[in-house]
């Protein structure tokens, strides 16, 4: 078999066989197939597509390229969640302890933020002392003893995916549904997941900006799950405006803690309950979604979710006092209130613009490896559809640099679109694929 | 400007600007843009295409990537020919001396054969002593003094094309009309051509197997010529059966010499006269094609074409005695006659199969750099449409190895398709684009 023939077959719109896909990914992983062939292949896949069978084979070939975490000795059925990334998406911080409190052990390997999307690891590192570099043995021990783990990727999971992603990033081959779907699913499967709740974000602050594209991606991931023996539920959730109010690392941790205490913004609370309910149901801990949701709500109401979060922070070396006194988390030196110039109805809180304002302040990264400032960010106070009076507080900008503050403040104000006529609130969800 | 943005624009079907194309080719030539970005770009171009303006810009950017031959001090208007490659295509060996004999100096840089298609340099090297490595000064001096040059590429002409072609060859991005057209035209323009007769082969023995694709390529090259100030005439000529009778290096030189002596197979003679006539007309040496053809025919009839060929061979160090006694050219040790098993009408002499038989015998290369045997090859004795009696001689196989002979003989026999019902002869041409 020759790599050029596999590339040419896909170029001509052909369906690659299981053997061809394995040959290509295996050769690419060990360097026998050079980057220039892999990038031509990735472009052919981007423009010609892949069917569900091919994408499942690609996913499994990437899983086989590295190590695989086996959680079967620790949990009955390993359930995980994954978000395609959005602005203000701190869902993992609430959902994982809540699900753990419902009796479902959850161990998750998260990533760092890049561009608009924040990363769970960056958020957790707002907590003084919190370690995100657990070794595989520590991961398993903590999962067994505490029932919840949130750390970075310590095993060499799906290295083919890592290598391919780095290449796609510089060759214009990121926006391909089969390549995105196989990338997400290969890491989940290699990390030992047997069931996954996927949170596919749609809107101006998400990678998928059209519902059509998001649905296609969701269907593809559900199909990979079917082919790989992994239960998958995909939620299509709105990312036109930020999720919840807080955007920025420590600010988001505070909002997550508030939510675990029974507070938190209504949209974010609802989102956490739904994701947690799907996870509890997939884990077989509830007969149906309604009962699962009841368990999740109870875990918030009775404080067991918060207790799990405290146990998680303590187990990973973080200061548990921050959980009870969130003001101990890093705080920015400057705060500026952004107020409405005119009254009316809020027609848009442009998620991408709010995300960019947060990156401008130093909360996110333009390039991999850039340092970040955990204290800064933006807190919005209104949702699309809200009635606004002139002078109403729209958002608060938390900054450590006066120039960045000016730039971010202008961006945050411009991100709020106010119209005289009434505006319908945005839905939280556009559908569920399973 | 970033390479990834140029790639992404083409991926999405956008039209690249002159600046974007220059940036990409210039960066690729000096290594600032790595192979893996160039191959992803080439795949995007292959699948999304390029319009005439983009392709002309690409051609000129590749011309600018290296040296350029200036023939203006030696010839009034430099005219050249180029064939997209076929089986038995020894046209250059006849046409260039004939055109030179008509008073139009012609200097050509040719290439070696690969796969089915023979290369003019390989054929010329059948002549003992013939040098194909003239330095640029030698090229110009010989063009001035002898009026005809046939050598290899000594200058660093369009190095971007050479680098891109090597990459396309292993990334499935060879079959792209804009990439093929710009590759051909960039080398012709860099070699100083001001007018070019393109011989675009169509059929089972050619790179372009459909008339549609060949026409598209011809139109694109004519359009590049227009944009670059180069006169271009493209002939769409048949390559379903071999051109002339001989396939194999020394065998083809012999057939070329026979043609220059006034003999030669009818189809090949006709083809040489038409190509030569277009060149003479483009050079402004004849009022119309008919007069130009008359001059070319006269140059064969009066022996001045043959004299030019002899002068060419002598000037480049070859043994001129071979021109008068072609039996001095390398001869194979074994000859096998392939005869018709049954009678009927010849419906096909599959050019690709005859070409492969010749490669099997050692006349061609499977891989760049492979050695070749100048003596071996195949001579076919009939054309599609001929009436065949049982036992008629179809072809003669010239071999130096008994095993290869057996394999080639079987292939040659199988390449001849005989039907009971009468068969129309194949046309020599399917059209002209200018």
Pick the catalytic residue from A22, A112, A123, A187.
Answer: A187
Under an 8 A CB cutoff, do B40 and A43 touch? yes
Under an 8 A CB cutoff, do B7 and A172 touch? yes
The mean pLDDT of B339-350, rounded to a whole number, is: 97
pLDDT tens-digit map of B231-262: 999 999 999 999 999 999 999 999 999 999 99
Output the CA torsion sign for B56, B58, B61, B67: negative
d(CA A251, CA A332): 10
Enumerate residues 6+ apart whose C-beta is below 8 A from B364: B113, B114, B115, B116, B117, B118, B355, B358, B372
A9 assigned to active site = no
Which of B11, B34, B38 comes nearest A46 by C-beta?
A: B11
Q: Does A3 touch chain B (CB under 8 A)?
A: yes
Q: Burial of A204 by CB count in 10 Å (0-12 exposed, 13-18 middle, 19+ buried)?
A: middle
Q: Does A48 touch chain B (CB under 8 A)?
A: yes
Res B292: pLDDT: 98
Res B236: pLDDT: 98
B161 assigned to active site = yes
pLDDT tens-digit map of B23-35: 999 999 999 999 9
Pick the catalytic residue from B10, B168, B281, B293.
Answer: B168
Under an 8 A CB cutoff, do B47 and A47 touch? yes
Query: Inter-axis angle of helices A211-228 and A52-64, to 10 degrees?
Result: 60
d(CA A97, CA A47): 41
Each residue's pLDDT expressed in tens, for chain A with a length of 434 residues: 899 999 999 999 999 999 999 999 999 999 999 999 999 999 999 999 999 999 999 999 999 999 988 898 888 899 999 999 899 999 999 999 999 999 999 999 888 877 777 789 999 999 999 999 999 899 999 999 999 999 998 778 899 998 999 899 899 999 899 999 999 999 999 999 999 999 999 999 998 999 999 999 999 999 999 999 999 999 999 999 999 999 999 999 999 999 999 999 999 999 999 999 999 999 999 999 999 999 999 999 999 999 999 999 999 999 999 999 999 999 999 999 999 999 999 999 999 999 999 999 999 887 777 889 999 999 999 999 999 999 999 999 999 999 999 999 999 999 999 999 999 999 999 999 99
The alpha carbon of residue B85 and the mean position of all alpha carbons in its chain are separated, in whole angstroms, by: 4
Q: Does B360 touch chain A (CB under 8 A)?
A: no
List CB contacts (< 8 A) between B165 and chain A. Answer: none
B237 assigned to active site = no
Under an 8 A CB cutoff, do A47 and B11 touch? yes
A291 assigned to active site = no
User: With contact defined as beta carbons under 8 Å apart, do A256 and A90 qualify?
Assistant: yes
Res B117: pLDDT: 75
For A174, name the nearest residue in chain B, comparing CA atoms only.
Answer: B8
Nearest to B238, CA basis, from B108, B344, B348, B121: B348
Q: Does B114 touch chain A (CB under 8 A)?
A: no
For B42, name the nearest residue in chain A, comparing CA atoms only.
Answer: A40
The alpha carbon of residue A211 and the mean position of all alpha carbons in its chain are separated, in whole angstroms, by: 18
* DSSP for A386-402, written as a single string: -EE-TT-EEEEEEES-H
Under an 8 A CB cutoff, do B43 and A3 touch? no
Helix (H) or strand (E) holding B344: strand B344-349
Pick the catalytic residue from A82, A285, A382, A404.
Answer: A82
Q: Burial of B257 by CB count in 10 Å (0-12 exposed, 13-18 middle, 19+ buried)?
A: buried
Backbone torsions φ then ψ of A371, nearest 5 degrees: -75, 155
**Per-residue confidence band for B367, with pLDDT thresholds at 50, 70 and 90:** confident
Say whether B265 sits in a helix, a strand or coil: coil
pLDDT over threshold 90, residue B369:
no
Which of A40, A172, A173 comes nearest B171 by C-beta?
A: A40
List CB contacts (< 8 A) between A169 and chain B. Answer: 4
d(CA B161, CA B174): 12
User: With contact defined as beta carbons under 8 Å apart, do A220 and A187 qualify?
Assistant: no
Beta bridge partners of residue B337, listed in sequence order: B396
pLDDT over threshold 80, residue B368:
no
d(CA A427, CA B2): 38
Pick the catalytic residue from B117, B176, B183, B193.
Answer: B183
List CB contacts (< 8 A) between A49 and chain B. Answer: none
Under an 8 A CB cutoff, do B7 and A171 touch? yes
Pull the structure tokens for residue A235: 């939620």
List CB contacts (< 8 A) between A36 and chain B. Answer: 34-36, 38-39, 167, 170-171
pLDDT tens-digit map of B194-214: 999 999 999 999 989 999 999
List CB contacts (< 8 A) between A170 and chain B. Answer: 3-4, 36-37
Q: Burial of A76 by CB count in 10 Å (0-12 exposed, 13-18 middle, 19+ buried)?
A: middle
Under an 8 A CB cutoff, do B11 and A173 touch? yes
The mean pLDDT of B204-229, rounded to a whole number, is: 95
List CB contacts (< 8 A) between A37 and chain B. Answer: 39, 170-171
pLDDT tens-digit map of B141-178: 999 999 999 999 877 889 999 899 989 989 999 989 99
User: With contact defined as beta carbons under 8 Å apart, do A152 and A107 qualify?
Assistant: no
């Amino acid at each position: 078999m020759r790599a050029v023939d596999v590339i040419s077959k896909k170029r001509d719109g052909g369906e690659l066989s299981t053997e061809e896909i394995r040959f290509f990914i295996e050769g690419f992983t060990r360097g026998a197939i050079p980057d220039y062939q892999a990038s031509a292949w990735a472009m052919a896949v981007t423009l010609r597509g892949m069917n569900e069978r091919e994408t499942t084979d690609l996913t499994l070939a990437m899983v086989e390229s590295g190590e695989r975490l086996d959680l079967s000795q620790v949990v009955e059925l390993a359930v995980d969640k994954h978000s395609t990334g959005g602005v203000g998406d701190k869902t993992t911080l609430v959902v994982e302890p809540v699900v753990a409190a419902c009796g479902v052990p959850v161990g998750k390997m998260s990533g760092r933020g890049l561009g608009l999307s924040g990363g769970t690891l960056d958020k957790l590192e707002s907590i003084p002392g919190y370690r995100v570099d657990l070794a595989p043995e520590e991961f398993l021990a903590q999962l067994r003893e505490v029932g919840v783990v949130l750390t970075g990727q310590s095993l060499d999971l799906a290295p083919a995916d890592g290598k391919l992603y780095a290449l796609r990033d510089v060759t214009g081959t990121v926006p391909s549904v089969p390549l995105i779907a196989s990338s997400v699913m290969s890491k989940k499967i290699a990390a030992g997941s047997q069931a996954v709740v996927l949170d596919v974000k749609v809107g101006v602050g998400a990678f998928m900006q059209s519902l059509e594209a998001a649905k296609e991606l969701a269907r593809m991931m559900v199909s990979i799950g079917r082919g790989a023996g992994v239960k998958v539920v995909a939620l299509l959730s709105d990312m036109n405006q930020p999720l919840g109010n807080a955007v920025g690392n420590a600010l988001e941790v505070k909002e997550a803690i508030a939510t675990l205490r029974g507070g938190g913004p209504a949209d974010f609370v609802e989102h956490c309950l739904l994701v947690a309910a799907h996870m509890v149901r997939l884990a077989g801990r509830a007969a149906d979604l309604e009962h699962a949701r009841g368990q999740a709500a109870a875990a918030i109401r009775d404080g067991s979710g918060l207790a799990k979060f405290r146990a998680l922070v303590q187990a990973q070396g973080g200061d548990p006092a921050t959980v009870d006194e969130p003001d101990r988390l890093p705080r920015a030196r400057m705060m500026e209130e952004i107020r409405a110039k005119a009254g009316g109805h809020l027609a848009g809180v442009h998620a991408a613009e709010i995300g960019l304002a947060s990156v401008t302040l130093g909360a996110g990264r333009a390039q991999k490896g850039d340092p970040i400032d955990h204290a800064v960010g933006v807190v919005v106070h209104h949702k699309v559809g809200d009635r606004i009076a002139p002078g109403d507080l729209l958002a608060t900008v938390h900054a450590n640099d006066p120039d960045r503050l000016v730039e971010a403040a202008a961006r945050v104000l411009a991100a709020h679109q106010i119209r005289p006529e009434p505006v319908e609130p945005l839905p939280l969800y556009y559908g569920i694929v399973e």
